[in-house]
Structure 1
Amino acid sequence: MGRAPRGIRNNNPGNIRHGADWKGLAEDQLDDDFCTFVDPQHGVRAMGRTLLTYERKHGINTVEGIVNRWAPPVENDTDSYVEHVAQRVGVDVDEVIRVADHLEDLVAVIIVHENGVNPYDPEVIMEGCQLARV
């Protein structure tokens, strides 16, 4: 079996970069670029908080807007990323959504896109998203 993707190894399946003082950060931050969390639930929590903040603070409430902010075109094939997320969430790319209503689905598909795999049970995603909502 090959080595797990960086985001999975770091319990940071959204590949969130250092910057914010997230709850659940591991004491030892061994990755120079990306946060390491104590468990996957806290990595998922950070993803969920970020997505909820996009809507609440910045008015970003479409898959196209979310993905363009999450994975800017300068670093990613954002168009295919947007299409993939919209298809998996079951909405049009420019359809206005309530992010909280789709949070688990958004997080799960972003994990797949960021890591090539989602190794987590749905309960892990649900627990992390619940932590993000409080």
Structure 2
Amino acid sequence: MIDLSKNPAVSHLRGLRNNNPGNIRVPKNPERNPWQGRVPIAQNTDKNKAFEQFISLEYGLRALMINARTQIKKGHNTIRKLIYTWAPPHENHTNNYIAYVSQKLHIPADQIIPALDKNFFISLAKAISEQENGDTIVQQVIPYSSYEEAYRLMGSTSYSPFEKKNELES
């Protein structure tokens, strides 16, 4: 497990410094979402405690992947819908973000995400991490093995965006 919290090369990047490369915010009621590997709010050293902190990079990547899976299951099942939820226009250059993630995943922005598998989650986590923190530094400090470990920690990912349609046809 990798802990970037004390790495001077990333001290200026909140997402990496917090082992939270997706910059997941602390919810209004943090106890309702007790992420595995999460630093307790009382020990969170984020300036205004607005962003989650994790004990390792892998737990932060795991949370990113699970958060994405949850949003996709809620119907945010295209890159455009997912990123509009993840990085809303009042905080981000959302259209640039969408274009970057779509290009990295080779999935058109408005196409339903075809499969939620290991390749998808790792590619998505890499693209979001790069967009949130800068592609060069992310490529330097996050090894592929961290994405693989996050995916393993995530557990079962069996879900098809087409399952509900098939259920209705039965």
Q: What is the TM-score with the length of structure 2 in the denominator?
A: 0.73
Instruction: Provide Cα deviations, 1:82-104, integer angstroms capped at 9, x if missing partner.
Output: 00000000111111114523111
In structure 2, distance between residues paired with 1:120 and 1:111:
9
Residues 1-134 of structure 1 correspond to what in structure 2 (within 5 A)? 3-19=11-27, 20-27=33-40, 28-31=43-46, 32-56=49-73, 58-98=74-114, 100-101=116-117, 102-116=120-134, 117-118=137-138, 119-134=141-156
% identity of equivalent residues: 32
Distance 1:43 1:99, change over 3 A: farther
Q: Relative CO higher for 1 or 2, CA cutoff 8 Å, sep ≥ 6? A: 1
CA RMSD of aligned residues (A): 1.5
Regions of 4+ moved over 3 Å? 1-4
Instruction: Provide Cα deviations, 1:55-89, integer angstroms capped at 9, x if missing partner.
Output: 22x12211111100100011111001000000000
Count residues in correspondence. 133
In structure 2, distance between residues paired with 1:76 and 1:99:
27
Q: CA deviation at 1:130?
A: 2.2
Q: What is the TM-score with the length of structure 1 in the denominator?
A: 0.92
Relative to structure 2, which stretch is displaced further, 77-86 or 110-119?
A: 110-119
Q: Which segments of 5 or more consecutive residues in structure 1 lack a partner in the other structure?
A: none
Determine if contact 1:17/1:35 at 8 Å carries over to the other structure. Answer: yes
Instruction: Provide Cα deviations, 1:23-42, integer angstroms capped at 9, x if missing partner.
Output: 10124211111111000010
Determine if contact 1:49/1:133 at 8 Å carries over to the other structure. Answer: no
Q: Which segments of 5 or more consecutive residues in structure 2 lack a partner in the other structure?
A: 1-7, 28-32, 157-170
The code of the aligned residue for 2:105 comes to: V
Q: Which structure would you say has the larger Rg?
A: 2
